[in-house]
Amino acid sequence: MDSSDFRKNAHALVDWIADYMDTVRAYPVRSQVNPGDIRKQLAPLPPQDGEDFETIFDDFKSIIMPGITHWQHPRFFAYFPANGTPPSQLAEMLLSALGVNAMIWETSPAATELEEQMINWLLTALKLPSDWSGVIQDTASTAVFCAVLVARERVTGWQVNDKGFTGDDRLTVYTTGETHSSLEKAVKMAGLGRASLRFVPTGDDHSMDVLALSEMIKKDKAAGFKPALIVASVGATGIGACDALKEIGIIARSQDIYFHVDAAWAGSAMICDEYRPLLNGAELADSFCFNPHKWLGVNFDCSVHFVKDKDSLIRTLTILPEYLKTREGDAVTDYRDWGPQLGRRNRALKLWFVLRSYGLDGLRKMIRGHVRMAEDLAKTIGAAPDFEIVTRPRLSLFTFRVYRPGVAHGALDAATEALITAVNDDGFTYLTRTVVDGRPVIRWQVGQVHTTEQDVSESWDRVQTLVKPLLATL
Ligand SMILES: *Cc1c(COP(=O)(O)O)cnc(C)c1O
């Protein structure tokens, strides 16, 4: 493909993308295909001879598109959002054209320096300590993995990196059952083992019981364990639970335990002053993560990982420092040792485009709109006869279920489960489930960039229609 063919194909593709943005509401939100439907349409073997771009693009439209779940759909209320705003998409196009590997400063000084400055912008926007450093990772899972590794090294005097576990080190990690499963994966990957995880009980609002935390630490220490890490959540995935960072941070500091805060989803909302109190105490953390790819309009992937002490992170992950040294030395940042992988994308460009295109005020307006729509809808659902709100809106996420007085939990739970299936088979809107206190609930989060009040109310109308036959069986 020469540059003139590229130009022609790219223009056709951009036209298609713009049309897609205009017409995305016409698609079912969740792909309606069955397992294997897509695979069986794909050629069994790679072609020997090259094919026309038109043919490839036609196949994309006819084969791939039906198997796409539309994360950019304004009636996507499932999981958390993964928003891709137009400016972010444009930055992504440039990134793919440049194809930069931003592993060290020298391999693209602009990538590194832009990343450092975006970290500073976001520290300011979130009112976090200005002397923190940070790095842009792919996902929050990577940030928590780094936190587990640094915590492991700190508590063992950087011995595990050298010798591996010797059998004397029995480390413990404290969190709650609300915390994202990426922590459990991280303790497995870091060799601590699942048995190191301590699930601290939670109170009525599903936040960590801080007294129980300090008792568990005391007991573990007395039994010869080495408490290594506390992970707190702000806006946990299930129902948006928020831990009390200040109280937890005080314990972490007094016990010298590494403290990581996971605000993957909710962190973006902290650019609004009225929600910022949820981060009170975050300044006591050793590391903090949030995903602009969830709720700040930056398309996947872009996860910001702030650290209080960058030297601990680098010391944990650095390899062969002499061999990879460049002549700039300490004068520049080489992000290669701030995460597990060497090669890295230049995700900062997307943040720069998005923050400048919308401004913080534009992004605040979007987030406040989502929160208001969720609060209004929760009020409506709370007042509806056949439903009850189970967890009230935390920012823009709440949960509800089918309810009828006098009907046994088993039947109501079955109706709730059946409703989720009916909604997602229908495709008009997309909702996901979780379990609260042992019973299934439906999560509803509002967070897609283009969602309107009409999208919300039409989706709620559809839910009410779909529940009717299920209510008849109660
Ligand atoms: C989404 C989410 C994660 C994991 O996100 P990835 O970036 O996909 O790893 C972690 N924690 C919370 C609270 C989340 O909502």
Q: What is the mean pLDDT of residues 61-72?
A: 97
pLDDT band at 14 (very low <50, low <70, confident <90, very high): very high
Residue 169: predicted pLDDT: 84
Atom of ligand 1 nearest to the CA of 138: 7
Q: What is the mean pLDDT of residues 463-468?
A: 97
pLDDT band at 321 (very low <50, low <70, confident <90, very high): low
Please give the model's pTM, rounded to 2 decimal places: 0.95
Ligand 1 centre and the CA of 302: distance in Å?
Answer: 11
Q: Give the contacts of 192 (CB within 8 A, at least 6 positions apart).
A: 148, 152, 171, 173, 228
With vertex at residue 95, the alpha carbon angle to CA 352 and CA 70, rounded to the nearest 5 degrees, is: 85
Q: Give the contacts of 298 (CB within 8 A, at least 6 positions apart).
A: 83, 84, 85, 88, 292, 347, 350, 351, 354
CA distance to 122, 145, 359, per residue, from 125 (Å):
5, 25, 11
The answer, yes or no, to whether residue 139 has pLDDT greater than 80, is yes
Residue 118: predicted pLDDT: 98
- Pocket of ligand 1, candidates 237, 279, 303: which has the most ligand atoms within 8 Å of its Cβ, to mutate? 237
Ligand 1 centre and the CA of 6: distance in Å?
Answer: 36
Q: What is the mean pLDDT of residues 384-400?
A: 97
Residue 246: predicted pLDDT: 98
Segment 151-197, tens digit of pLDDT? 999 999 999 999 999 877 899 999 999 999 999 999 999 999 999 99
Residue 319: predicted pLDDT: 81
Ligand 1 centre and the CA of 250: distance in Å?
Answer: 25
Ligand 1 centre and the CA of 182: distance in Å?
Answer: 7
pLDDT band at 31 (very low <50, low <70, confident <90, very high): very high
Atom of ligand 1 nearest to the CA of 237: 15
* Mean pLDDT, rounded, of the chain: 95
pLDDT band at 103 (very low <50, low <70, confident <90, very high): very high
Ligand 1 centre and the CA of 12: distance in Å?
Answer: 35
CA-nearest residue, atom 12 of ligand 1 = 264
Atom of ligand 1 nearest to the CA of 180: 11
Residue 276's Cβ-count burial label (10 Å; 0-12, 13-18, 19+) is: middle
CA-nearest residue, atom 13 of ligand 1 = 236
CA-nearest residue, atom 15 of ligand 1 = 237
Ligand 1 centre and the CA of 139: distance in Å?
Answer: 7
Segment 332-369, tens digit of pLDDT? 999 999 999 999 999 999 999 999 999 999 999 999 99
CA-nearest residue, atom 1 of ligand 1 = 264
The answer, yes or no, to whether residue 86 has pLDDT greater than 90, is yes
Atom of ligand 1 nearest to the CA of 291: 7
Residue 375's nearest CA partner among 393, 387, 388 is 393
Share of the chain above pLDDT 70, in %: 98
Ligand 1 centre and the CA of 146: distance in Å?
Answer: 14
Across the strands, what pairs with 172? 227
Q: What is the mean pLDDT of residues 144-157?
A: 97
CA-nearest residue, atom 4 of ligand 1 = 140
The answer, yes or no, to whether residue 374 has pLDDT greater than 90, is yes
The whole-angstrom separation of Cα 402 and Cα 87 is 40
Taking the CA atoms of residue 313, residue 314, residue 320 and residue 323 in that order, the dihedral angle to the nearest 10 degrees is 160
211 backbone φψ class: left, alpha, beta (φ>0; ψ -120 to 50): alpha
pLDDT band at 327 (very low <50, low <70, confident <90, very high): low
Helix (H, G, I), strand (E, B) or coil at 134: strand
The whole-angstrom separation of Cα 288 and Cα 303 is 10
More confident residue, 83 or 228: 228
Give residue ranges with CB within 6 A of ligand 1.
80, 139-141, 180, 182, 233, 236-237, 262, 264-265, 291, 303
Residue 330: predicted pLDDT: 73
Ligand 1 centre and the CA of 223: distance in Å?
Answer: 33
Residue 168: predicted pLDDT: 77
More confident residue, 328 or 60: 60
- Pocket of ligand 1, candidates 175, 182, 298: which has the most ligand atoms within 8 Å of its Cβ, to mutate? 182
Ligand 1 centre and the CA of 140: distance in Å?
Answer: 5
The answer, yes or no, to whether residue 325 has pLDDT greater than 70, is no
CA-nearest residue, atom 2 of ligand 1 = 264
Domains of the chain: 101-345 (3.40.640.10)
Phi–psi pair at 402, nearest 5 degrees? -70, 140
Exposure of 299 in the CB half-sphere (CA atoms within 13 A)? 15
Residue 322: predicted pLDDT: 61
Ligand 1 centre and the CA of 235: distance in Å?
Answer: 10
Residue 324: predicted pLDDT: 62
Atom of ligand 1 nearest to the CA of 301: 7
